Amino acid sequence: MKKIIILFFTYLILHSNLNALIKVDITRGNLDPLPIAVSPLHVESASENLESLDTKKLGLNISSIIEKNFKSTGLFNPLKREAFVQKPDIAHLKPRFEDWRLIKAQALVTGKLSVKNNKLKVEFRLWDLTASKEMIALSFTTTPSNWRRVAHIISDKIYERLTGEEGYFDTRIIYVAESGPKNQRVKKLAIMDQDGAKTKYLTLGNELVLTPRFNPSNQMVTYLSYFRNLPRVYLLDIETGKQEVVGNFPGMTFAPRFSPDGKKIIMSFAKDGNSDIFTMDLETRKVERITEHSSIDTSPSYSPDGKYICFNSDRSGLQQIYVMRSDGSNVKRITFGNGIYGTPVWSPRGDLIAFTKVRKGKFYIGVMRSDGTGERLLTENFYQEAPSWSPNGRVLVFYRETKSGAQGKGFSAKLWSIDITGYNERKIKTETDASDPSWSSLLSK
Amino acid sequence: MKFNKNLRNIFLILFATLALSACSTAKKSQTSGDVYTGSDTVEYLASGVKDRVFFATNKSSLTSASRETLRKQATYLRKNKKLNVTVEGHADERGTREFNLALGERRANAVKDYLMTYGISGKRISVISYGKERPVNSESTPLAWSQNRRSVTVKVK
């Protein structure tokens, strides 16, 4: 992972205009997506062609990724290229604003790139067509194989400039790739870019693996593996492939997550029919008990400041969500609605907790404030669970399973995403069936 | 006369409907509460010794039928002193994955505890939870779910 971060930002903010007129409001549903034109990046004629890369197509490929990213937000409406009137290189120098307004675009992205001495240099500009002004101009230099990341970083910069929120395109999702019949699923850890590209399988499928989660620097993953038929929490270094068991527990450990500083893993340990929450410090190896109750306590998740933990427990009789201080004190139940509640996950912004709710045979993904008030159910389905937050706290990714017929016919598991406004529900394309998604933080932060 | 015939037809239809609904109740009675009481999925550790017991939704308590099965397992284990077993705990697909792992573990331990009260050493019994990962019936129906909420006693080879 580290090697991809050899990405040089040359912030060439030429003249950033802070009084732009166009702004995208993302606090509400997208009733009126912003029409945006993404002009294909101009490829400079002196560019070298590389063995692994057709440089001539790179401009078009990068702008296609940017368009796809924008479309996936539901906040932007990328316009069809056929309607574009100006050539990319000329538009990049100075667009004829009236021409672009004619096709009803309100924002325009232009750019150019060159490949020389095995270095990719990309430059782009965002134009406010209403105010006829440049909003942002940046250039990057990186290795050519990083071209997809460049497209995602450009998307992030534009998203940030237009919405005032941090972007989430230069991110990855780790998940469980599934195949085979329902009663004998083969499960592998898989990792891919947020847009479904560059899928890589991290385990072979010889043993059952579940619930992978990134550490804050996205270099480590903690997950549950049934290696040697002993279900235990593991730690995996994505770069080196090195795996190790977390702690030395005389029984099943499961439901792992990292603390926000990445120093601890919090998880459940089941013994003699009772599951409690424990942490282990990865450096000192010190194990600490956090809950002690005869009920099932599981699915722990820290608040982003590390001061609190939310989890679910059936201590009231049915599965409900609780919040406590990170030392286990001051346990408070926060869900009292009809139905059962599980898989609480604290938003990276700290204000909301996402959860799964089951009521009258239906599964819901919802959000509520961290004190349990303001519950909003975003989506209802036959089976869905395990939400994970985009790093900017605006989008949730989760998995959904279909109802199956005899012998598991028609069964499938797929990843979906939805805005916390409840709009823009989307299936995420994966090479195989997929479950247990976990969203990384921004890679280039 | 014609009216009578119509009436008779109506009665016939009524009768057929009643008979049909009686059939479907007969099928439903493979569960009691929502604990599976049938034997479609059951296998045997030895002649007359069932390998599994079933649970109600979200529960790990043993029914009287389950206790009877487990007493037979205990008798069998007492007779076969060299035999060790693994008790697998399972849940249906109608819960969240992580909670189901805990629930499966709790169910397997309920079985282990009961076997121990009948004199079987805890050292001979290991437990493992599969949560909802290994259904015995892959269909999404209440009957399949009741068959999947189970603990299975498996011989260790």
Q: Which domains does chain A have, with CATH numbers?
A: 2-163 (3.40.50.10070), 172-439 (2.120.10.30)
Element (H, E) at A385: strand A384-389
Closest Cβ opposite residue B106 in set A182, A273, A401: A273
Instruction: Answer whether residue A192 shows pLDDT above 50.
Output: yes
Percent of chain A with pLDDT over 90: 89
> Taking the model in full, what pTM does it have?
0.91
Instruction: Answer whether residue A20 shows pLDDT above 70.
Output: no
Closest Cβ opposite residue A408 in set B60, B128, B138: B138
Which range among A12-21, A55-64, A101-110, A139-148 shows the weakest confidence by mean pLDDT? A12-21
Minimum distance, in Å, between the CA of residue A409 and any CA atom of chain B = 8
List, as one string, the DSSP characters of A291-308.
---SS-EEEEEE-TTSSE
Q: Please identify among residues 84-103 of chain B the ones whose CB lies closer than 8 Å to any CB of chain A.
A: 93-99, 101-103
Query: What's the confidence (pLDDT) of residue A21?
Result: 62
Minimum distance, in Å, between the CA of residue A169 and any CA atom of chain B = 28
* Phi, psi (rounded to 5 degrees) for A140: -130, 150
Cβ A408–B106 below 8 Å, yes or no?
A: no
Q: Which residues contact B101 (CB under 8 A, 6 or more apart)?
A: A210, A224, A231, A252, A254, A255, A270, A298, B91, B129, B130, B131
Look at residues A322, A319, A314 and name the one whose alpha carbon lies nearest to residue A295. A314
Cβ A296–B102 below 8 Å, yes or no?
A: yes
CA distance A51 to B56: 62
Question: For B148, which residue in chain A has the nearest alpha carbon?
Answer: A183
Instruction: Answer whether residue A245 shows pLDDT above 80.
Output: yes
- pLDDT tens digit string along A394-421? 999 999 999 999 999 999 999 999 999 9
CA distance A182 to A293: 34
The dihedral through the CA atoms of A64, A65, A67, A71 has a sign that is positive
pLDDT category at A3 given cuts 50, 70, 90 is very low
Within 13 Å and on the Cβ side, how many CA atoms surround A172? Answer: 27
Contacts of B92 in chain A (CB under 8 A): none
- pLDDT tens digit string along B70-97? 999 999 999 999 999 999 999 999 999 9
Q: Considering only residues A54 and A270, tell me which one the structure prediction assigns the higher pLDDT.
A: A270
Structure tokens at A88: 């990319």
Contacts of B147 in chain A (CB under 8 A): none
Contacts of B65-71 with CB under 8 Å at 24 or more apart are B65/B37, B67/B114, B70/B111, B70/B114, B70/B115, B70/B118, B71/B118
